[in-house]
Amino acid sequence: MARGCFGGILMGLANLVPGVSGGTMLVATGVYGHFVNAVAHISTLRFHRRSVAMLAIIVVSALLTIVIGAGTMRTLVVEHRWMMYSLFIGLTLGGVPLLWSMVRPMNAPAVLGAAAGLVAMIVLAGLESTTGGSAVGQGGVIMLVITGIAAGAAMVLPGVSGMYLVLVLGQYVVILDALDGIRNREFDSLLSVILPVGIGVIIGVVVISNIVSKLLVHARSATLGVLLGLLVGAVFGLWPFRATRSPVVGDIVRGQLVETDAQAQAIKPSNWPMESFDPGLGMFIGAVALLLGGFIASLLITRLGRHEKI
C-alpha cells in the first residue's frame, strides 16, 4: 500500500508532464500489475477489498498531486514554451528503450504495428499544426470527453504519455486551468471541463485499457509495435520553436475567419494562432541541453521498473 501511494504520486506528476508515462511510474514502483488487476476486478464488478484499497490509494494520490501541481505546470508551458517542449521531447524519447525491450524481436506484426502508430502520430501532429493548436484552445464537451478517453487509455500503458495526447488535442492548458481553479476554490469549470474529461478518463481506463490488455495477450507483438510507433511519433507534435502571435485580419481562429480589427483585438491570448520561428544559437544549444537532460531523466526512471513484467 505504501508503494501504491508513492506510485500514485509519481503517476500524478507524470500526468502533468507530456512525454512521461503514468504507467511507467507504476512499473517503476512495482505496482503496475496490482493496478491493472484492480481495474479489471472492479470493472467486472468483483469488489475484492485489497483491489479496491489499492486502486483507491493510487487514484487519490495521483489526483491530489495533479490538482496541486497544475498551476505551476500551466505557467511553465505558457510562459516558457520552447524550454518545456524541448524537455518534453527528451522525456518522450527516454521511454523508447523500455518499449523497445518489450517488443523485441521485431517481427513482421511488430514492424507493421510500429509503422501504423508512427503514421497515426504524424497525422495527428499535422492536424494540430494546421489548426494552430498550441495546447490552449477551448474544446466542446465532445472534444473534452474524447480527450479524457485518450488520456485514460494511455494512462496505464507503460511508455505512452496520456498528457501528450491531451497536448496535441489542444486541451492541455484548458484542463490545467480548470484543475488550478479547483485548488483556488474556483469551481466554474468543474462541470464544463473537469466532468466531461473525468467521464472520458473513466471510459478510457476501464474499456480501452481492458481491450489493450487482451491484445497484449493475443496480439502482443503488433500491439507493442503500435505503442512504440506512437511513442516515437509523439516527437513530431512537440516542435519547440513555435510561439503565439497576435491575430490579424484574414486569420482563421478556432474555425472562424477574422474579418475586422475589432474581432482580432477581442480574441483572447489563449486562442492566438501559432507560427514557427528560427531560434538563435543560444536558444538552440539550450534546447538540445534540455532534450538530453529530459532523455537521461526519463531513461533512469524507466530503468527502475525494467524487471516488472507487463
pLDDT digits (tens, 9 = 90+) for 225-237: 887 887 788 777 7
Give the pLDDT band of residue 308 (cuts 50, 70, 90). Answer: low
What is the SS3 assignment for 242?
Answer: strand
**pLDDT at 142 > cutoff 80:** yes
**pLDDT at 12 > cutoff 70:** yes
Give the pLDDT band of residue 87 (cuts 50, 70, 90). Answer: confident
Instruction: Tell me the pLDDT tens digit for each residue of 157-216.
Output: 665 677 777 877 777 777 877 877 777 777 677 777 888 888 998 888 888 767 776 787
Output 99 or 309, whichever has higher pLDDT.
99
Output 53 or 190, whichever has higher pLDDT.
53
User: Residue 199: which residues within 8 A CB-CB, separation 6 or more?
Assistant: 145, 148
What's the confidence (pLDDT) of residue 156?
67
Alpha-carbon distance of 178 to 1, in angstroms, equals: 30
Give the pLDDT band of residue 291 (cuts 50, 70, 90). Answer: very high
What's the confidence (pLDDT) of residue 281?
93
What's the confidence (pLDDT) of residue 272?
74
Instruction: Tell me the pLDDT tens digit for each residue of 240-275.
Output: 888 778 888 887 766 678 888 888 888 776 567 777
Closest CA to 122 of 251, 49, 14, 231: 231
**pLDDT at 148 > cutoff 70:** yes
Strand 252-253 relative to strand 274-276: parallel, antiparallel, unpaired? unpaired
**pLDDT at 38 > cutoff 70:** yes
Q: Which amino acid is at 292?
A: L
Q: What is the mean pLDDT of the chain?
A: 78
Of 13-22, 42-51, 144-153, minimum mean pLDDT range: 13-22
Alpha-carbon distance of 170 to 98, in angstroms, equals: 27
Q: Which amino acid is at 55?
A: L
C-alpha cell at 143: 472534444
What's the confidence (pLDDT) of residue 132?
46
**pLDDT at 27 > cutoff 80:** no
Q: Residue range 72-84: average pLDDT? A: 81
Q: Residue range 24-44: average pLDDT? A: 74
Give the pLDDT band of residue 135 (cuts 50, 70, 90). Answer: very low
Strand partners, 274: 244
Q: Which amino acid is at 295?
A: F
